[in-house]
């Protein structure tokens, strides 16, 4: 395993335009102090996951190794092994456990120009990106110079102890009426998926139970069981997709802070964020204080008619290895997502080649003229 050349993300170079980046305004976790800023990204394979930190420093530039050391010191989830070359990078938050794929190697990219500087010599300037990538999930665009790009959408790393939320402007499915708004989210495990609804109401406050009852009544995919102020189960069923409790219990917080009242007593006001989470995919940051850092996705609007029509949609074989067939009339789109909710393949055909997908669990979303269906897919 060894470190290859540098290639940047900010230049107008054609290669750089193909590499997935992230706007600094989207960065959640900034490390260091100073007037200069840079973004540090790592792209792992199995699953293909790209995570980003922000780094602030004093002066015109900083050595890449200094940046990595400071991030590792500030964020215990991140670590790396290296001497003259970077041998491996790790990220482990209790749910994700990422490292270099066996028999693989790393490349890294900086600021639009290829260079052979080692990571303990390479300089990073204000406004620049650094991306280190596992070649198993990269695309070689210049074989002569061993230049790779990484197309995986980059997700921001959340600070330790900070809850992953979603801006109300991103919510798709709003339930209820009134001038006040709250967001309701559930974080399941196996797979680790966080889904959010919006709730509108009149008056100063409502209980969490009011919100959950209204969502369950409006959305046939969502249901829950609760007694004595405790929630025992929360489920979400959409066609062949089924989310339910994987651990031993549910916990919930309000605006990122653990709630100590039962869901039938806890009140929320305009602008509040409610999240229930499966404890088995949470990070305990203090005694009985948990956070869920999986990026939150908005729930699509439920359509009972679509669900009935979708019974005619199917994909086969399952498990699959090289190809997947879609049984549907007038296919509009076929989208395949990994267990983190990232789109890995999109097609408009009924015959789809899977040779580029790693073995694992995926979800296939099929859209026709009048229906949509999501199916769990195992790739061998």
pLDDT band with cut points at 50, 70 and 90 for residue 310: low
In percent, the amount of the chain with pLDDT more than 70 equals 89
* Final residue before a domain boundary, out of 298, 319, 349: 298
Look at residue 265 and tell me whether its pLDDT is greater than 80. Answer: yes
pLDDT band with cut points at 50, 70 and 90 for residue 4: very low
Higher pLDDT, 149 or 373: 149
Do 277 and 250 lie in a common domain? yes
- pLDDT, residue 267, reads 94
Do 123 and 65 lie in a common domain? yes
When pLDDT is averaged across residues 213-217 and rounded to a whole number, the result is 96
Residue 163 in domain: no
Residue 92 in domain: yes
Do 93 and 185 lie in a common domain? no
- pLDDT, residue 88, reads 93
When pLDDT is averaged across residues 262-268 and rounded to a whole number, the result is 95
Residue 211 in domain: yes
* Number of domains into which the chain is organized: 3
Residue 49 in domain: yes
pLDDT band with cut points at 50, 70 and 90 for residue 168: very high
Q: Tell me what the pLDDT averaged over the chain comes to.
A: 85
DSSP-derived secondary structure letter, 250: E
Do 293 and 315 lie in a common domain? no
- pLDDT, residue 77, reads 87
When pLDDT is averaged across residues 315-333 and rounded to a whole number, the result is 88
Residue 236 in domain: yes
- 135 by DSSP, 3-state: which? helix
Sign of CA dihedral 276, 298, 344, 128: negative
When pLDDT is averaged across residues 268-281 and rounded to a whole number, the result is 95
CATH value at residue 219: 2.170.130.30
Question: Is 54 within 8 Å of 29 (Cβ atoms)?
Answer: yes
Residue 7 in domain: no
Round to whole Å and give the CA distance between 328 and 164.
36
Do 284 and 351 lie in a common domain? no
Residue 5 in domain: no
CATH value at residue 340: 2.60.40.3080
Do 93 and 25 lie in a common domain? yes
For the ranges 66-80, 147-161, 289-303, 319-333, the one whose mean pLDDT is highest:
66-80
- pLDDT, residue 244, reads 94
Do 328 and 245 lie in a common domain? no
- pLDDT, residue 243, reads 94
* Final residue before a domain boundary, out of 116, 132, 156: 156
pLDDT band with cut points at 50, 70 and 90 for residue 199: very high
Look at residue 351 and tell me whether its pLDDT is greater than 80. Answer: yes
Do 181 and 264 lie in a common domain? yes
Do 21 and 147 lie in a common domain? yes
- pLDDT, residue 160, reads 75
- pLDDT, residue 307, reads 53
- pLDDT, residue 372, reads 74
* Final residue before a domain boundary, out of 298, 324, 347: 298
Round to whole Å and give the CA distance between 369 and 180.
35
Tokens describing residue 230: 């405790």
- pLDDT, residue 302, reads 83
**What residue numbers bound the domain in which 190 lies?**
168-298
Do 190 and 174 lie in a common domain? yes
Residue 178 in domain: yes
Sign of CA dihedral 166, 172, 177, 179: positive
Distance in angstroms between the alpha carbons of the first and the last residue of the chain: 26
- pLDDT, residue 17, reads 44
pTM confidence score: 0.51
C-alpha closest to that of 238 among 193, 269, 204: 193
Residues 6+ apart with CB under 8 A from 69: none
Do 326 and 366 lie in a common domain? yes
């Amino acid at each position: 395993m060894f470190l290859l050349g540098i290639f940047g993300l900010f230049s107008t170079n054609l290669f750089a335009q193909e590499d997935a980046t992230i706007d600094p305004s989207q960065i959640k976790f900034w490390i260091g102090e100073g007037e200069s800023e840079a973004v540090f990204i790592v792209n792992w394979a199995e699953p293909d996951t790209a995570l980003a930190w922000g780094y602030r420093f004093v002066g015109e530039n900083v050595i890449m190794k200094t940046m990595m050391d400071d991030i590792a010191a500030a964020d215990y989830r991140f670590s790396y092994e290296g001497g003259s070359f970077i041998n491996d990078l790790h990220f482990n938050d209790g749910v994700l456990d990422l490292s270099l794929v066996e028999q693989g190697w790393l490349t890294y990219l900086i600021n639009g120009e290829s260079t052979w500087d080692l990571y303990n010599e390479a300089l990073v300037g204000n406004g620049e990106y650094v991306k280190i990538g596992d070649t198993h999930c990269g695309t070689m665009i210049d074989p002569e110079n061993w230049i790779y790009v990484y197309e995986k959408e980059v997700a921001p790393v959340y600070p330790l102890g900070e809850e992953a939320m979603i801006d109300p402007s991103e919510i798709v499915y709003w339930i209820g009426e009134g001038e006040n708004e709250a967001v309701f989210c559930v974080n399941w495990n196996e797979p680790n998926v966080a889904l959010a609804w919006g709730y509108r109401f009149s008056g100063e406050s409502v209980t969490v139970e009011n919100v959950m009852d209204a969502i369950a009544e409006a959305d046939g995919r969502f249901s829950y069981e609760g007694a004595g102020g405790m929630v025992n189960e929360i489920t979400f069923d959409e066609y062949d997709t089924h989310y339910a409790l994987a651990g031993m219990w549910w916990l919930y917080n309000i605006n990122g802070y653990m709630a100590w009242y039962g869901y039938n007593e806890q009140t929320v006001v305009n602008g509040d964020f409610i999240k229930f989470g499966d404890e088995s995919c949470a990070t305990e940051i203090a005694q009985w204080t948990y956070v869920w850092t999986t990026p939150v996705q908005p729930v699509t609007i439920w359509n009972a008619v679509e669900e009935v029509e979708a019974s005619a949609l199917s994909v086969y074989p399952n498990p699959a290895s090289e190809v997947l067939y879609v049984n549907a009339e007038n296919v509009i789109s076929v989208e395949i997502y990994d267990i983190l909710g990232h789109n890995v393949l999109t097609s408009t055909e009924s015959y789809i080649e899977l040779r580029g997908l790693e073995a694992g669990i995926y979800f296939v979303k099929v859209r026709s003229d009048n229906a949509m269906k999501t199916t769990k897919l195992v790739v061998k």
